[in-house]
Copies of this chain bind each other. A is one copy, B any other.
Amino acid sequence: MSEEHNHTVTPRNTEEKEKMLKRLKRIEGQVRGIQKMIEEDRYCVDILIQISAIESALKQVGFSVTERHMNHCVADAIRKGEGEASIDELMKVLRQFGK
């Protein structure tokens, strides 16, 4: 499942991109924040709380990507009569994602 896919992608508009990149930049900063907590020997429970916050933020990014994918790529495939393969492909990732 790790091989890359060459499908036509409906590009995000600038606003969409900025919004998503902002969320990912924040997550990147939170990961650096945990590095600092480890360096400063901060209390483990506080570190776990931060890890849990990043997990939730990351999961929300995943859901946004999933929703957009369904509204664009999966919907296009269904309209072209290729829905089953596209749904099958998405389900493989959701199973991985929801483990």
Contact = CB atoms under 8 A, between A and B. Distances in A.
Interface string A64-97: 0111111111110011000110011111011111
B7 A98 contact: no
A24 B20 contact: no
Nearest to A73: B44
A15 interface: no
Contact of A47 (B17, B34, B65, B84): B65
Contact of A4 (B34, B43, B59, B94): B43
8 contacts: A9-B42, A12-B41, A24-B35, A44-B69, A45-B73, A75-B87, A98-B98, A99-B99
